[in-house]
Structure 1
């Protein structure tokens, strides 16, 4: 069902102003820089995942007709000779079309320990498929039919400490399963929590927020509630208080969430906090379909999930936000980007785009954590995406992939442009503070609980007490949630000078898969809150 569009004279004028701004490829300000990378990548980036070869896999849906990107060599899938998936090469700023055989709309995914993208579910004939993309030159999707136990549409995936992934929920699916299948885990398991959080009118528990806790259990948030779940024993081990206000925060009343950076990894008790921001008041989806757009939520809830008596702490954002993405940045801050201030998720169900990103500084005092950034010129509404790149920029794409790739006649048309947002830590004025990793080289392999020595150069003088190392798990981003996103702070145990403008920092790698599931991570040296360019490291099982 296509939502009602309301277009006022004021909105038309606003779009005219925005269309004028689109001609500018780069905008600079103290709060970050925007850069237009591609005027037309050919598809709308509804889903995005960065892989260890510095290429981003993007895809939208296959049942809306022809895209603006042709498949090579006259290839066609069901009479459609255009691509609905693409590989974006960050280094060369080029796009390569990829071929999918089934509809990947509103699907989910994660990256296996070997670096392959495992992509699950979708729509229609794609609902029970698993697709695998290996990051190699010229590679394309491989699809496997009837691999999932049930249809998965709007589900959430998470990598587990043993390298499997758990696939939770989806539309009318109150259960979970594992991939790859084994003799002991080949079933579909009932999950009553999704029944309890299901709103019969709006659902509001799709794409649940899932995070691996440091004890190996899963923190799962859906609608307005959360539990700690032991997936091995299939039981709830902790029930958290309802988020204050009781309004829904997950799809379609779409907020976003992150597990805040994990620190003090060598101590007996590691604090884990979850931050949930934005969303829409209960009933907003039904009202938006009828043409009434309710202001989104302007609050965040933050909770220490391992406290004996955990309680939500509520903070107020500078503006209301729905359909925003939340990304962990290498310096340990959180970027909140994209979205709208009225309505909900859905085509034309969001109004008043929020163009200013926010940086959230979790270590600041309450009331001083949010910082507005330089505004974008392109509205990023329903189905927008954002992922962190190795160089510290954030890749931003997508928005409203309408039927037949409508580019003109909608208030927020199909968006094919691709941008990068550069946080202010990339500003040239910080060049003397910015480390450059010398050793190990990218693609290094590391093990659990070992000493790791990292050499880096620095043009300016060093503050040894302000050096840290962070590792970030690249996430599968769709529908305002970044699955498998994780950042760990490896405290600098020693920092010493080893040459002219060259230093060595010693850290200890994470102690187990509960802290960091095996696989590929981006590793950064951060000096005075200015991160280096990252290198890829693979934590081995």
Structure 2
């Protein structure tokens, strides 16, 4: 073989080795900060409230937590005087313990239009309970026995256009129901799709991914399949193709999903897309229980569910991930955070935490959508959570892969800390581009289809064509899925104009109906060159 040929092979070998070991793509930034070293509980469930407080809760059946109930209180008929729920005040960075009476383990919930958090189901004595929390300085959980028709454990909830929430599925619950009930006799219609997607050995269809479609139907994804469902008539409207590869994406092969931003133009949304990412391959649950931890899935499936003949488009993430959370950021990007790169969801069943978040830019060309972000130092694996805050940070908590609180001599100790991830749009270098909303004022009521004038300031120069206004719903997060999550890009008709030095106005049209944005509390942002303002709370209503 000629020397030149040998040299060429040598160079090619070096290039291949470099590509194999090179990072998948450059880190784009973002920063981490510890907010509180301990909140006393591991935050398994998390919901932002419209007063900038966050309710978090864990199980109640593992023993005592690391925070006491106030005033010497104890749970009834128990020696447990610790709290298993807390309220975190974002503004003051403080924690207040709350009392839950029955077990909220692996439950679900929805922020209702009046600002109450309505939690549903749980384990054992919490199976059919409904718990309601209305935030105030001395408020606590109120419980409704037998508030549900069926036992709900690992169910998914979604707020509906009529102001009620639908509760879908749960372990061995192949049906759905509503809360509040129209009447005491209201039943729980069967849902054969959950039977069809149930793996008898491992399920893989718990916490199904559910999104409200703009025609009022529900997109429901379970295991590796999806349908469009008319819940009023209990009819399947459309069946979508199985995701290519047929790998499971729901608990315990836990991936995550988002409804991509809905862009409104003249009262319609031309394109409705869903993105499903990560999970674990078939057989991973059985293997993990036998001490073999399969690599997580590194694929995402994206489908335009508004197409007449929708098809999945597969993409490859730079980092494989199971038990990751997917959050919509105010600028329409998707943040993929938390999780592990091997194993499945369940006690002691995950390995190799993924410390680096990844952002996904849905408007970029395929192949250039993912960007790896700076890593945390804290593993956030099973039972970790994340929610978007009004100031654009992402609140991250939880992680407890054990059936008790265990802090030593384990791979991944129970995590009680609370931290924040600040995306790169919060860097100080962007301060001159960041809008500041002047009006409307927080808590403004916005009516469907009406014009809303938004005035804002930007200290630096403004590209008027790059200004958009987004509306984000605060989601209920648990087990790698953010229920009720949606982001709308409001129709502005290129109306942004200067009012004076550094002051501008953009006129937008509110969503036309509750099918697009159910009546409730939302965060409104002005975004300039992909840099969002601090949001303001607004209330969508008829």
1:451 offset after TM fit, Å?
0.3
Residue in structure 1 matched with residue 453 of structure 2 by the alignment: 453
1:348 offset after TM fit, Å?
1.7
- C-alpha contact 2:381 2:401 (8 A) present in aligned 1: no
1:306 offset after TM fit, Å?
1.6
> Are residues 170 and 265 of structure 1, via their aligned partners in 2, closer, same or farther at CA, if it must alter by over 3 Å?
farther
Structure 2 residue 74 is matched with structure 1 residue 76: yes
Q: TM-score, normalised by structure 2?
A: 0.93
Residue in structure 1 matched with residue 107 of structure 2 by the alignment: 107
Partners of 2:286 and 2:475 lie apart in 1 by 31
Partners of 2:327 and 2:290 lie apart in 1 by 32
> Are residues 489 and 185 of structure 1, via their aligned partners in 2, closer, same or farther at CA, if it must alter by over 3 Å?
farther
Partners of 2:268 and 2:195 lie apart in 1 by 36
SS at match of 1:415: coil
Residue in structure 1 matched with residue 54 of structure 2 by the alignment: 56
> Are residues 263 and 269 of structure 1, via their aligned partners in 2, closer, same or farther at CA, if it must alter by over 3 Å?
closer
Deviations 1:95-144 (A, max 9, x none): 00000000000000011111110100000000100001112222110000
Where does 1:528-539 land on structure 2 (aligned, <5 Å)?
Answer: 528-539=529-540
Partners of 1:81 and 1:443 lie apart in 2 by 37
1:40 offset after TM fit, Å?
0.8
Partners of 2:269 and 2:178 lie apart in 1 by 29
Residue in structure 1 matched with residue 388 of structure 2 by the alignment: 388
Partners of 2:381 and 2:265 lie apart in 1 by 37
Structure 2 residue 45 is matched with structure 1 residue 47: yes
Deviations 1:342-394 (A, max 9, x none): 00001221111111100000000000000000011000000000000000000
Partners of 1:386 and 1:330 lie apart in 2 by 15
- C-alpha contact 2:122 2:152 (8 A) present in aligned 1: yes
- C-alpha contact 1:470 1:526 (8 A) present in aligned 2: yes
SS at match of 1:31: coil
Residue in structure 1 matched with residue 478 of structure 2 by the alignment: 478
1:501 offset after TM fit, Å?
1.4
SS at match of 1:163: coil
1:269 offset after TM fit, Å?
4.9
1:492 offset after TM fit, Å?
2.5
Residue in structure 2 matched with residue 186 of structure 1 by the alignment: 186
1:76 offset after TM fit, Å?
0.3
Partners of 2:515 and 2:298 lie apart in 1 by 33
Residue in structure 2 matched with residue 177 of structure 1 by the alignment: 177
Residue in structure 1 matched with residue 295 of structure 2 by the alignment: 295
SS at match of 1:491: coil
User: Matched residue pairs, number?
Assistant: 513
Deviations 1:225-282 (A, max 9, x none): 0000000111001000000000100000000000000003425453110000000001
Deviations 1:1-59 (A, max 9, x none): xxxxxxxxxxxxxxxxxxxxxxxxxxxx8510000011111000000000000000000
SS at match of 1:314: strand
- C-alpha contact 1:296 1:341 (8 A) present in aligned 2: yes
Find runs of 4+ consecutive structure 1 residues off by over 6 angstroms.
none
- C-alpha contact 1:64 1:402 (8 A) present in aligned 2: no
Work out which of the two has the higher radius of gyration on C-alpha atoms and give 1 or 2: 2
Partners of 2:423 and 2:192 lie apart in 1 by 41
Partners of 1:391 and 1:42 lie apart in 2 by 24
Residue in structure 2 matched with residue 32 of structure 1 by the alignment: 30
1:499 offset after TM fit, Å?
2.7
SS at match of 2:429: helix
Deviations 1:168-225 (A, max 9, x none): 0000000000000003982111000000000011100000000000111000000000
> Are residues 96 and 281 of structure 1, via their aligned partners in 2, closer, same or farther at CA, if it must alter by over 3 Å?
same
Partners of 1:267 and 1:101 lie apart in 2 by 45
Where does 1:217-366 land on structure 2 (aligned, <5 Å)?
Answer: 217-366=217-366
- C-alpha contact 2:218 2:228 (8 A) present in aligned 1: yes
> Are residues 268 and 59 of structure 1, via their aligned partners in 2, closer, same or farther at CA, if it must alter by over 3 Å?
closer
- C-alpha contact 1:66 1:404 (8 A) present in aligned 2: no
Partners of 1:454 and 1:269 lie apart in 2 by 22
> Are residues 530 and 197 of structure 1, via their aligned partners in 2, closer, same or farther at CA, if it must alter by over 3 Å?
same
- C-alpha contact 1:266 1:511 (8 A) present in aligned 2: no
Residue in structure 2 matched with residue 524 of structure 1 by the alignment: 525
Residue in structure 1 matched with residue 499 of structure 2 by the alignment: 498
Where does 1:426-437 land on structure 2 (aligned, <5 Å)?
Answer: 426-437=426-437
1:500 offset after TM fit, Å?
2.5
> Are residues 269 and 338 of structure 1, via their aligned partners in 2, closer, same or farther at CA, if it must alter by over 3 Å?
closer
* Structure 1 vs Structure 2 CA RMSD: 1.1
- C-alpha contact 1:401 1:415 (8 A) present in aligned 2: no
Residue in structure 2 matched with residue 15 of structure 1 by the alignment: none
Partners of 2:424 and 2:185 lie apart in 1 by 46
SS at match of 2:276: strand
Partners of 1:185 and 1:217 lie apart in 2 by 24
Partners of 1:255 and 1:265 lie apart in 2 by 31
Partners of 1:30 and 1:200 lie apart in 2 by 42
> Are residues 383 and 272 of structure 1, via their aligned partners in 2, closer, same or farther at CA, if it must alter by over 3 Å?
same
- C-alpha contact 1:475 1:485 (8 A) present in aligned 2: yes
Runs of 5+ in structure 2 lacking a partner? 1-26
